[in-house]
Amino acid sequence: MLYLRMIVLMFIGLFTSRVVLQALGVENYGINNVIAGFLSMFGIITSSMSNAISRFITVELGKGDIIRLKQVFSTSISVQLFMSLLIVVLIESFGMWFVNTKMQIPQGREFATHWCLHCATLTTFISLMSVPFNSAIIAHEKMSAFAYMTIFDAILKLVICYVLYISPIDKLVTYAIAGVCVSVMTTLIYWVYCFKKFEETSFKFRFNKSLFKEMWGFAGWNLFAQASWILNTQGINMLMNLFFGVVVNAARGVAVQVNGIIQNFVNNFMIALNPQITKSYAVGDKETAFKLACRGCRFSFYIMFVLALPVMIESHQILRLWLGTPPEQADVFMVWTILSTFSTLLGNTLVTLQMAHGNIMHYQFWITVFGCVPFPLTWIAFKLGAPAVFSYYIFVIVYWGLIYVRYHLVHSMTGIPAAMYLGGVVLKTHVVGLFSAVVPIIIFWGMSESIIRLGIVVLASLISSVSVIYLVGLDNDERRFLKDRIFSKI
């Protein structure tokens, strides 16, 4: 169900991105990208609590304690409401100061930028209040409902594209107001579904002090780690605005959009897998949790790599066919955005495993210390005159090193074997990535740019990556399972 959702979302996302970029123009698109990045910097306060909510709901479901589950859900709603209101106050005060004094805004676009900030703040508040309900759906593994709801959300975004073309008022203002309307409608649907389906979502306003302290202790250290991630993504996005202007932000926004579409294929897999890792660890079945975590790392890498390889090789031609006239440097940004995602992908399920363990203080402290390095290095590089893409070089190098730091920390807490992760995940994925890319890159270099070359590169990438994954990336049990399934279908 999640992959059916993803196929629909991918086509809608590709279409709406082109339409929105053309309707808004490069400058408005860049302004919207900076505002969205700015808001996400404040969103770490509540998103850290969101991760705690998701983890506690999943653990209590695994244990089957309905009374405790109701307490967790009601407490999470109360806390989320308080934190969301705090976010609104911070954004409306500090945000207006940033927009008026620091942000590079083209002449005459100040009013529209203010509207964009106000509407994005409201959208953020509404979305944050839906987090406990989304967490409940995923924890119960009701993936079909989750898929239908997000497809509905994507269809509403198609409606926004039409509204952009017929609106008589400013396009950026129209886009911001329409975003609020979509957020309200989808959030109401989430609420109604959860109230009808899940017993624990019958909300009563209560505040369990001991439970709050436990959840906040978990969320506090998670906030510590997320701060470094936001600093290295949206913080660097703001640095790009300060040093290079909104056109570079537009190029980065396009690159992030493409990367997000590809990464969503992995996210679907992780959404289905993470509750199983957490539940297995919660009931003491560490071996199953370890196997799920390692297979999750490998398979998520393989899924994204099969899709990303031809996109990275033919980035220039793909963007030109998709957008007509893409922002300058968008193709280079796209390649490095995807590579930076690979550098974080191999640690995703290790994070889930560590959260299932519960003691995250030591882990989050050291991940944050190392993870904060790219931002100051990027600022220094920009001061010295380095180009915008240099920030990606720094990010990839630092986060590739973090793979080994992350494993060492999780191993010391959970005991996950080195052979299972370093040999079975890190080594295999690197070998798959290197050998799969050889043939399509040779074809790319040997032919001039054309639709024919694009088709051949895509086909060669698919055949090469799937073959290497089957021969090198899978173990004997996985190959046997795959053959049995194929033959049974035949």
Q: Do 190 and 230 sit in the same domain of this protein?
A: no
Q: What is the extent of the structural domain holding 352?
A: 224-490
User: Residue 224: its pLDDT value, please?
Assistant: 63
Q: Do 349 and 404 sit in the same domain of this protein?
A: yes
Q: Do 286 and 409 sit in the same domain of this protein?
A: yes
CA 412 to chain centre: 27
User: Residue 38: its pLDDT value, please?
Assistant: 66
User: Residue 225: its pLDDT value, please?
Assistant: 64
Residue 219 lies in a domain: no
10 Å Cβ neighbour count for 364?
24
Listed residues 207, 239, 262: the one ending a domain: 207
Give the pLDDT mean for 443-447: 91
User: Residue 459: its pLDDT value, please?
Assistant: 94
Which residues fall within 8 angstroms of residue 383, CB to CB, at 6 or more apart? none
CA distance 225 to 230: 9
Q: Do 361 and 463 sit in the same domain of this protein?
A: yes
Q: Do 393 and 481 sit in the same domain of this protein?
A: yes
Residue 33, pLDDT > 60, answer yes
Residue 46, pLDDT > 60, answer no
User: Residue 439: its pLDDT value, please?
Assistant: 93
CA distance 145 to 37: 29
Q: Do 261 and 333 sit in the same domain of this protein?
A: yes
User: Residue 464: its pLDDT value, please?
Assistant: 93
Residue 3, pLDDT > 70, answer no
Q: Count of domains in the chain? A: 2
Confidence of residue 219 (pLDDT cuts 50, 70, 90): low
50-59, 372-381, 423-432, 446-455 — which is least confidently predicted?
50-59
Q: Do 355 and 429 sit in the same domain of this protein?
A: yes
Residue 5, pLDDT > 60, answer yes
- Kindly report, residue by residue over 267-294, the tens digit of the pLDDT: 767 777 777 887 788 778 888 888 888 8
Q: Quote the Cα angle for 131-112-102, to 5°.
A: 85
Q: Do 239 and 268 sit in the same domain of this protein?
A: yes
Q: Do 284 and 368 sit in the same domain of this protein?
A: yes
Residue 355 lies in a domain: yes
Are 337 and 259 within 8 A, CB to CB?
Answer: yes
Q: Do 33 and 96 sit in the same domain of this protein?
A: yes
DSSP character for 25?
Answer: H
CA 224 to chain centre: 18
- Kindly report, residue by residue over 78-133, the tens digit of the pLDDT: 777 877 787 788 778 877 787 777 776 777 777 878 888 888 888 878 877 887 88
Residue 406 lies in a domain: yes
User: Residue 431: its pLDDT value, please?
Assistant: 92
Listed residues 207, 240, 259: the one ending a domain: 207
Residue 48, pLDDT > 70, answer no
Residue 373, pLDDT > 80, answer yes
Q: Return the closest-CA partner of residue 375 out of 120, 41, 93, 92.
A: 41
- Kindly report, residue by residue over 461-485, the tens digit of the pLDDT: 999 999 999 998 888 888 888 888 8
Residue 7 lies in a domain: yes
Residue 217 lies in a domain: no
Residue 121 lies in a domain: yes
Residue 138, pLDDT > 80, answer no
Q: Do 143 and 265 sit in the same domain of this protein?
A: no
User: Residue 440: its pLDDT value, please?
Assistant: 93
pTM given for the model? 0.66
User: Residue 240: its pLDDT value, please?
Assistant: 84
Q: Do 404 and 450 sit in the same domain of this protein?
A: yes
Residue 213 lies in a domain: no
CA distance 155 to 162: 11
Residue 415, pLDDT > 70, answer yes
Confidence of residue 443 (pLDDT cuts 50, 70, 90): very high
The DSSP H or E segment spanning 76 is helix 66-90
User: Residue 287: its pLDDT value, please?
Assistant: 85
User: Residue 396: its pLDDT value, please?
Assistant: 85
DSSP character for 201?
Answer: G
The DSSP H or E segment spanning 314 is none
Q: Return the closest-CA partner of residue 414 out of 363, 366, 353.
A: 353
Mean pLDDT across the chain, nearest whole number?
80
More reliable by pLDDT, 288 or 355? 288
Give the pLDDT mean for 327-338: 85
One-letter amino acid at 289 equals A
User: Residue 221: its pLDDT value, please?
Assistant: 62
Give the pLDDT mean for 144-151: 75
- Kindly report, residue by residue over 224-240, the tens digit of the pLDDT: 666 666 777 777 877 88
Listed residues 158, 180, 207: the one ending a domain: 207
Residue 214 lies in a domain: no
User: Residue 206: its pLDDT value, please?
Assistant: 63
Are 2 and 272 within 8 A, CB to CB?
Answer: yes
